[in-house]
Amino acid sequence: DDIPDLFNMLPALVGFSPEDSVVVVATEGPRCRFGFRMRLDLPEHLEDAAAAADLVAFHLVNNGADGAIVLALTHRQRMARETLFEIVKRLGPITPIAVARSNGERYWVDVPGFPSEGIAYESSRSHLAIVTAVAAGQQILPNRATLAARVAAPSLDCLAESSDIYTHVCRQIVDIVAQSEPAVPDGAIADLAGVFLKVHTGTALTPEDAARLCVWLNHSDVADVIADQITDDNAADWLQ
């Protein structure tokens, strides 16, 4: 029963639902506390399995792992089997706590007598580990492509446009600060009234709205005023 739990925990461990991947989790101490973890693409070719295994072993050793959980999730089971074999060969004094491979519906453990057809299990997006992680504020994305898109560098055109917007907003705010001293927070509240209204009504902010909010947040007194606007009821709207 532990192996299906481990596969269902993967989205919580790496922040998205991995595909065609090897996920390695270092464990510490006799209670096998989870420590360092890494995900890497399953190699494309059998001859690349050794290099992938070298990389995994290097990071496990550098992070002081006592044990390791090594999981492969893919439809390319021959590649998964070879890669896991190469990783285990390189663990040395690190204890293999669990080593298994899955196609998302069935899993295999490469030990004598294990059913060649694998063992069926149920993949669950509501596994306790996922629910607990989300409740604690962790975002779990649907896949790696979504994560890559989220952290991708903006285009040069986008950077230029953002710079122009930021410069325009900064000039406006400098004028507001000059006119509202010493009551800067009052001037900020008036300037941000439209932004607050959009947040409270669930209306998407424009790039200029976002820039205005970011600039004002650099003023500590104004940041306190903005923080007072955030409640349990509208926190999700602010997050968006």
- Does residue 134 have a pLDDT over 90? no
Angle of helix 220-228 versus helix 207-217 axis, rounded to 10: 120
The pLDDT of residue 50 is above 90: yes
Q: What is the mean pLDDT of residues 161-173?
A: 87
pLDDT of residue 84: 97
Handedness of CA 203, 225, 188, 193 (dihedral sign): positive
Pairing between β-strand 67-73 and β-strand 95-102 as defined by DSSP bridges: parallel
- pLDDT at 117 (0 to 100): 96
Task: Please check whether residue 140 is in contact with residue 15, taking contact to mean a CB–CB distance below 8 angstroms.
Answer: yes
Q: Is the pLDDT of residue 159 over 70?
A: no
Rounded to 5°, the CA angle 129-130-133 comes to 85
Between the ranges 95-99, 122-126, 137-141, 182-186, where is the mean pLDDT highest?
95-99
The helix, strand and coil proportions of the chain, stated in percent and rounded to the nearest 5, come to 50, 15, 30
Indicate whether 101 pLDDT > 90: yes
Average pLDDT over residues 201-208: 86
Question: In 63-206, which residue ranges form alpha helices assigned H by DSSP?
Answer: 77-89, 128-135, 144-151, 156-180, 184-191, 193-201
Query: Residue 120, class by beta-carbon neighbours within 10 Å (0-12 exposed, 13-18 middle, 19+ buried)?
Result: exposed
pLDDT above 90 for 70 = yes
